[in-house]
Amino acid sequence: MQKIKIAVAKGDGIGPEIMDATLSVIGATGAPLEFEFVDMGKGWYEKGFSSGMTPEAKETIERLGILLKGPMETPKGKGMKSINVTARKMWSTYANKRVFKSLNGVETVFSKAGIPIDITMVRENIEDTYGGIEHMLTEDVALCRRFITRPGSMQVHKYTFEMARKKGAKKVTCGHKANIMKLTDGLFLECFYEVAKDYPEIKATDIIVDDLAMKLVARPNDFEVLVLPNLQGDILSDLCAGLVGGLGFAPSANIGDNVCIFEAVHGSAPDIAGKNIANPTALLISSCMMLRHLGLTDEAIAIENSLYHTLQQGFHTVDFGTGAEQQLDTTEFSRQIIENLQITKRTYVNTLNLTQEQNERKVYQMLQTPSKGEAIVNGADFFIESTEQPQVIAHKFKDKLPENMSLIMMSNRGTQVYPNGSLLTDCVNQFRVRVEREPGAPPLTADDILNFAKEISRSIKICSIEWLMMYGGVKSYSLAQGQ
């Protein structure tokens, strides 16, 4: 059969060692793969490639659509963006799938207690605070914008439920903080239940993320499939890795419609690079996820069975296990896995209908859902810099406000300080001042907001402005604490 071409980036630090070990195991299965090595990583940052990859690497990955990637390091203190995050976002790999499973030979608190763990976590991979949009509003106040979108949430939830159906999962749980972040996490949760309606055979539940963290360390076997927003998923996926022995046993797949990235999520461990003692397990299991994705299920099963048998025999690298007589270096560990390989059949089923030549887009694809009603500008939040008392600021605003607009409230660090509040609320030098149209007045226009901003900026420094929108007659902005 025709070989499937795969882009391979060996990575930094221990990356080349564990990648060579992984490729040797894949090769021993006879998998019909051809590897094209691409230039990515810290060294390419230092050579002047701001994305951490050469244009040729970018073209190859986009053409082939599959990247097997070793751990990569981003230079510190140079203002560089993480190459790992950049790659995931640039190629719209909207779902990060990680599998956390108890492994024989890897001793944990739960294995000692006889509690098996088999959790699949899907993390939204593009949005949230990982948009990386930050500003200093004043010298004392930093702002990070958090984006949760309906199209992005629908993508990750549809992937999660489809994956759960194929896995035969009975329950999918959405972790969130919608009790506090009612619009952002609220939208993520709303989309979860909207998608869940199409999968009646799967029980859909949700849980507040802090409660989820507690339950994961107390009763991890209560959970089967989890889906979370980006930042919360990032934190809890590392927590889950700790349940099964650490990041060295945590495979990862970044799934998109055009490019998919398979990688180990642990670091590049430069302190042990070149010593041939690194553990290739996480990258090896990630490669099995890749093989399954490509329809090479028999090869994936063979590698997994051989790895598990090797671990059960007590063979291990220096970072885990006991018994010096069974402690192997990276190369020896991969050879032992190859020795244990047993492939009884090879039936390639191209479930993806994968083509190796990706369509070249001419324009950016716009993701948009149908509107739920008329969009109306109801007012604006003015983020200002000031050390004056709220009453003084309020007087300045009221003095400039036109007849069709009124001052609703002021908050500091999210807590209301005007017209009501407590003098025990400590304030910083940045306030949010909310202005809305008068009841019964026509919708505001951009000129209404901007003309007022021009007037008020003569006496107050404006850091930022956010429109207050109503969609389908519903206010689409949050209240302040205490409002």
What string of pLDDT tens digits covers the 483 residues of the chain? 689 999 999 999 999 999 999 999 999 999 999 999 999 988 888 888 888 899 999 999 999 999 999 999 877 655 567 788 888 988 999 999 999 998 887 888 998 888 999 999 999 999 999 888 888 998 999 999 999 999 999 999 999 999 999 999 999 999 999 999 999 999 999 999 999 999 999 999 999 999 999 999 999 999 999 999 999 999 999 999 999 988 888 899 999 999 999 998 888 999 999 999 999 999 999 999 999 999 999 999 999 999 999 988 888 888 776 666 788 999 999 999 999 998 655 555 554 445 555 557 778 888 888 887 889 999 999 999 999 999 999 999 999 999 999 999 999 999 999 999 999 999 999 999 999 999 999 999 999 999 999 999 999 999 999 999 999 889 999 887 776
Give the strand pairing for 33-37 and 461-471: unpaired
pLDDT of residue 58: 93
Does an H or E element contain 98, and which?
strand 95-101
Alpha helices in 65-208 (DSSP H): 83-90, 109-112, 150-167, 184-196
333 neighbors 310 (Cβ within 8 angstroms): yes
Please state, in angstroms and rounded to a whole number, the distance separating the CA atoms of residues 149 and 190: 11
| Cα 188 to Cα 176: distance, rounded to the nearest angstrom | 8
Q: Give the distance, in angstroms, between the CA of residue 43 and the centroid of all CA atoms in the same chain.
A: 25
Q: For the chain, which domains are there? A: 1-94+256-359 (3.40.718.10), 95-243 (3.40.718.10), 375-475 (3.30.70.1570)
Q: Is 163 left (phi over 0), alpha (psi -120 to 50) or beta?
A: alpha
Distance CA 405, CA 76 (A): 48
Q: Where are the alpha helices (DSSP H) in 267-296?
A: 281-293
Tell me how far apart the alpha carbons of residues 164 and 166 are, in angstroms, rounded to a whole number. Answer: 5
- Helix, strand counts (H, E) of the chain: 14, 18
Place of tokens 């983020």: 383
Whether the model pTM is above 0.75: yes
- Joined tokens for residue 160: 């999660």
The CA distance from 323 to 313, in Å, is: 11
Going by the DSSP 8-state scheme, the letter that residue 124 receives in this structure is E
- How confident is the model at residue 357, as a pLDDT? 55
